[in-house]
């Protein structure tokens, strides 16, 4: 199994071998990622919460491929901008922990601003 760093390098080489780097600006990659995210969401449109958790094998493989596409583009954006996505996620978790204190957020779908009003 590849690490995220190995995936980044494989994607960089894949683009370089095809002379696609000129197309892989952060703007273009972000736009492509959103298209793929929309394709991912499309698989869940109109399903109940329960149905979305019990996809048949064929649908699950389609969702798996869309998740792969989203991760590919996200990894390429991060690479182009010199951002470590794992470090960014860890940093964001620290911010989220402050915005959503467990003792106030537990079991609630409220927005973070709602917790300061309690």
Cα 32 from chain centroid (whole Å): 13
pLDDT at 118: 52
Domain co-membership, 60 together with 12 = yes
Q: What is the largest CA-CA distance in the chain?
A: 56
**Residues 6+ positions from 36 with CB-CB distance below 8 Å:** 66, 69, 70, 73
pLDDT at 117: 53
Given a contact cutoff of 8 angstroms between Cβ atoms, the answer to whether 66 and 40 are in contact is yes
Q: Return the CATH number at 64.
A: 1.10.287.1080
- Please tell me the total count of domains within the chain: 2
| Residue numbers of the domain that contains 101 | 85-118
Name residues of the chain where pLDDT drops below 70.
1, 116-118
- The pTM is what? 0.88
Q: What is the per-residue pLDDT across 60-78, written as a single tens digit (0 to 9) for each? A: 999 999 999 999 999 999 9
């Amino acid at each position: 199994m590849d690490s995220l760093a190995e995936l980044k390098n494989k994607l960089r080489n894949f683009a370089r071998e095809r002379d696609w780097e000129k197309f892989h600006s952060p703007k273009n990659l972000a736009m492509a990622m959103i298209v793929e995210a929309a394709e991912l969401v499309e698989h869940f449109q109109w399903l109940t919460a329960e149905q979305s958790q019990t996809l048949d094998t064929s649908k699950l493989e389609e969702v798996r491929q869309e998740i792969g596409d989203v991760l590919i583009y996200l990894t390429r954006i991060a690479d182009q901008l010199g951002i470590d996505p794992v470090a960014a996620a860890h940093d964001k978790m620290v911010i989220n922990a402050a915005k959503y204190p467990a003792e106030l957020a537990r079991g609630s779908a409220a927005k973070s601003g709602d917790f300061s009003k309690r």
